[in-house]
Amino acid sequence: MLRLLGAFAVAILAMQPGLAAAVEIPPELQNSRIGFIYEPPRSPKYQALYERLMNRKVLEELKAFLSPLRLPRKLVLNLRECGEANAYYSRSNGLVLCYEYIDYMESLAPKDTTPEGFTRAEGIAGAFIEVTLHELGHGVFDNLDVPIFGREEDAADEFAGFLMLQFSPDLAMLTIKGAAWSYLSQEQDWKGNSFADEHGTERQRFYNYLCLGYGAMPALFQSVVDKGLLPPGRAGHCAREYQQAKNAFVQTILPFVDQDMMKIVQGVRWLRPEEMK
Amino acid sequence: MKYLAGAAILATVLIWPAAQEAMAQSPIPQNPKVKVDYLEPREPSPNDVKAMGIYKQHQAIYERMTKRGVLEELSRFLSPLQLPVALRIKTLECNTINAFYDPQEWTLKLCYEYFASLENNAPQTVDENGFTREQAVVGGFLAVTLHELGHAVSDVFNLPVMGREEDSADQIAAFVSLQFGPEVARTAISGAAHSWLSLHNRRGDVYPFWDSHSTDMQRVYNFLCIGYGGKPELFKDLVEKRWLPKARINTCSHEYERLRLAFRQTLLPHIDQDLMKRVQAEKWLRPEDGKW
């Protein structure tokens, strides 16, 4: 029976293209200001997801990824069942990623590569990384008192997008396209005073991410322009937009980043090969 | 001793009003780093009736602006700003309804076409939303000029703009509008709301989401939210009864505070505080402004 269960677990892990076993984290990547909690879900529905994320050591990895940040206040990373599909940052709770929201995003991921070229891995791993980095953006702005010009929601997207582009080309592609897919697949109907929302529309956020990617690595993201996902009227501004995000990052956040640890972070392959495909 | 102190107080009281008057009389200087220029509209061939009509309107605007000394006033308004480079502000014909900041030339280019459009879309007296002609014309001018100045200061001070620059320029315009008393605040914020509302009404429900600008209505809401966040009493009527849904109203004071924090960290060190107090005490708008 135990053996059967074990085999079953292996089969499930193998079936999940998204989050399987953990990657190796260098021991230097420590930060006592960052904590994490996997809260067991009340609903049996999220039990498998909870276990998968825990086995994958998602929060350990996220903590290591953030370890170069010199944070004046403690930051806790939480996975929990919230009663709604959501993800947020608050000063009292820290980062909160809800099982409901991760489950929802995974349900939106394409089964096969879409005609526009969005892959299942982008829809699962990329979209998860986007929401995590976006909410962490809010957390970092708050923790470091970062001066923000422009809307904070867009700034959090640019924070996320900028980070996505500091690693390997395949990770850049997976995460930027994953972010774009996430907003495309969650698009709402905007009318009347729904435009008063503090967030941009999903389409605007879709274009913002693709534009940052194209601005940073034009050759790599040329396909999104060729496929008409990013119109030429916007594409021409993207190099400047990326430079502006970089300039803001360098001025406001980089002074709080430990450079030696950052080099180690940049050397880690954060996703397993099968999670990229 | 008591007598002496009394005499000193008396002397102070006597001198004080005179000193105050002298201060009030010494005019706020123009910013030596802000160079202003009005380019004359070009006269078309007399046979071109349509172009002649446009020219006449531009010429009238040009004459009113030079007579009022609008750009010189703007330079005085900007006197506390310690610019690292000379900033030029020009009014000119552009053949398009727009206003620009040109980073190559460190120049604000404000087009007569844009001002003509503000006038053409302004109500005769007051519109159904309660926006007045003065707010539409003068406030519209302030909004677009401060928006382009927002681009200029981001450029010359190399501001860390983490969000979208177009929204940042709107935020800078809105924030600046709120620092000079209720009249300037109400005029400029209402002018901004009127400008983009009227643009939205002309464009209809077409949303270029790919654009680096927010949609016209998003800009209306953003201006009103910052106005309300900074001066809730002054914008209560517009915001609570009319424009913003509750969910957004709740975030406005946070949005304003974020902006204030960003200003304090980046731009405040470049502002001469003594001059700023004088600029804040000055009455910038005249009753006749916009009533043409």
The pLDDT assigned to A12 comes to: 40
Tell the residue number behind the tokens 């962490």, with chain if given: A136
Which tokens sit at B239? 């915001």
**Residue A34, beta-bridge partner list:** A75
Residue A111 belongs to a domain: yes
CA distance B180 to B201: 30
Residue A116 belongs to a domain: yes
Size of interface A-B (CB pairs under 8 A): 113
**Residue A79, beta-bridge partner list:** A38, A97
CA distance A137 to B80: 34
Nearest one of A195, A146, A149 to B167, comparing CA atoms: A149
> Does residue A3 surpass a pLDDT of 50?
no
**Residue A35, beta-bridge partner list:** A76
Residue A266 belongs to a domain: no
pLDDT in tens, A111-122: 999 999 999 999
The pLDDT assigned to B241 comes to: 82
The pLDDT assigned to A14 comes to: 39
Set of chain B residues whose Cβ sits within 8 Å of the Cβ of A237: 212
pLDDT in tens, B65-74: 999 999 999 9
Set of chain B residues whose Cβ sits within 8 Å of the Cβ of A159: 162
The pLDDT assigned to A89 comes to: 98
Contact between A208 and B166 under an 8 Å Cβ cutoff? The reply is: no
> Does residue B3 surpass a pLDDT of 90?
no
B107-111/B87-92 β-pairing: parallel
In chain B, residues 145-174 whose CB comes closer than 8 Å to chain A: 154, 158-165, 167-168, 171-172
- Average pLDDT of chain A is 92
The pLDDT assigned to B265 comes to: 97
Mean pLDDT in residue range B241-256: 94
The pLDDT assigned to B292 comes to: 65
CA distance B192 to B220: 7
Mean pLDDT in residue range B251-275: 97
ipTM: 0.90
Confidence of residue A273 (pLDDT cuts 50, 70, 90): confident
**Residue A38, beta-bridge partner list:** A79
Q: Cα-flanking dihedrals φ and ψ of residue B34, to 5°?
A: -110, 110
Mean pLDDT in residue range B234-253: 93
Q: How many domains, chain A?
A: 1
Mean pLDDT in residue range B145-159: 98
The pLDDT assigned to A11 comes to: 41
Mean pLDDT in residue range A173-193: 96
- H or E stretch at B35: strand B34-38
Residue A272 belongs to a domain: no
Which tokens sit at A239? 């190099």
Nearest to A196 among B154, B171, B245 (CB): B245
Q: What does chain B come to in residues?
A: 292
Residue A261 belongs to a domain: no
3-state secondary structure of B261: helix
Nearest to B209 among A191, A196, A201 (CB): A201
The pLDDT assigned to A8 comes to: 42
pLDDT in tens, A131-142: 999 999 999 999
Give me the domain span that covers residue A240: 2-188+196-256
Confidence of residue B8 (pLDDT cuts 50, 70, 90): low
CA distance A17 to A35: 27
CA dihedral B201→B206→B209→B214, nearest 10 degrees, is 0
A94-98/A75-80 β-pairing: parallel
- Average pLDDT of chain B is 92
Burial class (CB in 10 A: 0-12, 13-18, 19+), A178: buried
- H or E stretch at B90: strand B87-92
Q: Cα-flanking dihedrals φ and ψ of residue A189, to 5°?
A: -90, 115
Set of chain A residues whose Cβ sits within 8 Å of the Cβ of B214: 200, 204
CA distance A41 to B273: 56
Nearest one of B108, B215, B145 to A204, comparing CA atoms: B215
Which tokens sit at B284? 């910038």
Confidence of residue B290 (pLDDT cuts 50, 70, 90): confident
How many CA atoms does the CB half-sphere of B32 hold within 13 Å? 2
Set of chain B residues whose Cβ sits within 8 Å of the Cβ of A252: 160, 162
Mean pLDDT in residue range B184-213: 95
> Does residue B18 surpass a pLDDT of 70?
no
> Does residue A59 surpass a pLDDT of 60?
yes
B34-38/A94-98 β-pairing: unpaired
Q: Which is more confidently placed, B287 or B113?
A: B113
In chain B, residues 56-95 whose CB comes closer than 8 Å to chain A: none
> Does residue B169 surpass a pLDDT of 90?
yes
Secondary structure string (H, E, C) spanning chain A? CHHHHHHHHHHHHHHCCCCCCCCCCCCCCCCCCEEEEECCCCCHHHHHHHHHHHHCCHHHHHHHHHCCECCCCCEEEEEECCCCCCEEEECCCEEEEEHHHHHHHHHHCCCCCCCCCCCHHHHHHHHHHHHHHHHHHHHHHHHHCCCCCCCHHHHHHHHHHHHHCCCCHHHHHHHHHHHHHHHHHCCCCCCHHHHHCCCCCHHHHHHHHHHHHHHHCCCCCHHHHHCCCCCHHHHCCHHHHHHHHHHHHHHHCHHHECHHHHHHHHHCCCCCHHHCC
Set of chain A residues whose Cβ sits within 8 Å of the Cβ of B205: 191
Residue A167 belongs to a domain: yes
> Does residue A247 surpass a pLDDT of 80?
yes
Residue A155 belongs to a domain: yes
Residue A269 belongs to a domain: no
Is B253 an interface residue toward A (CB < 8 Å)?
Answer: no
- Least confidently predicted of A151-160, B61-70, B234-243: B234-243
Got the DSSP string for B264-290? Answer: HHHTGGGB-HHHHHHHHHS----TTTT
**Minimal Cα distance from B252: which residue of A?**
A198
The pLDDT assigned to A153 comes to: 98
Interface-testing mutation among A89, A133, A149, A246, with chain B (most B C-beta atoms within 10 A): A149
pLDDT in tens, B128-148: 999 999 999 999 999 999 999
Q: Model's pTM, two decimal places?
A: 0.91
